[in-house]
Amino acid sequence: MFCYQCQETVRNEGCAVRGVCGKTEETSNLQDLLIYLLNGMAIYADQVVAAVKSGAIKRFIVMAGCDGRHKSRGYYTDVARELPADTIILTAGCAKYRYNKLKLGDIDGIPRVLDAGQCNDCYSLAVIALKLKEVFGLNNINELPISFDVAWYEQKAVAVLLALLHLGVKGIRLGPTLPAFASPNVLKVLVENFNIRPIADPKTDVEAMVKGN
């Protein structure tokens, strides 16, 4: 294949002017592969909707963003272990490396960890949430059985957080540590308007998220 992503693509048959953008074929193939991996999440769409309607899937937990490698930052690993078997983890970003090798199984053939890619691909998770809202005829994204437990480590996570706030998502947990620039006044606004909260211990947070809190 050679570059199926830009305006030079013709009838989904590849680049009309090969290499017009200056990318090598290797780079183009890697980009196409990434796009196909993201599209791969869509193959579970009908199964997910059916599993939610049947009650097989009770809740989605978005554990996305950036996390460090220090051994003390084990919160997201512990959350993944504590989550009940009827929950699905939606992830993107390096936080997934805290739990993507755990044997969490599947729900009716749907992997319990659905990975959208890198941190910048958290938009795909927002699209999934918006599509579920549409499918179930809900008025507000906060009516969905979804909890957001976002990992903060660097600036990209701020963009993810701002995107979620723009969509009106409330009740986001943020951790393992809060950004240093989050002054008391900023935190006050975020708490009062969006009910943002820092993470607690994994067991307490899981119990709350499963209940929709």
CATH topology of domain 55-210: Rossmann fold (3.40.50)
Q: What are the structural domain ranges in the chain?
A: 1-44, 55-210
171: alpha, beta or left, given left = phi > 0 and alpha = psi -120 to 50? left
Higher pLDDT residue, 195 or 70?
A: 195
Pairing of strands 113-115, 87-91: parallel
What is the amino acid identity at position 76? Y
pLDDT value at position 32? 57
The amino acid that residue 25 corresponds to is E
Structure tokens at 186: 């900023």
Average pLDDT over residues 97-108: 90
The span from the CA of 127 to the CA of 159, in Å, is: 16
Taking only the tens place, the pLDDT of each residue in 64-73 is 877 766 666 7
pLDDT > 70: percent of the chain = 75
User: Could you tell me the pTM of the whole model?
Assistant: 0.77
**Who wins on pLDDT, 99 or 1?**
99
Per-residue pLDDT tens for 131-169? 788 888 899 999 999 999 988 766 777 778 888 888 899
Q: Hey, which bits of 94-187 come out as E strands?
A: 106-107, 110-111, 113-115, 146-151, 173-175
Q: Is the predicted pLDDT of residue 35 greater than 60, yes or no?
A: no
Q: Over the range 117-128, which residues count as b (16 or more CB within 10 Å of their CB) and which as e?
A: bebebbebbbeb
In this predicted structure, what is the pLDDT of residue 41?
A: 64
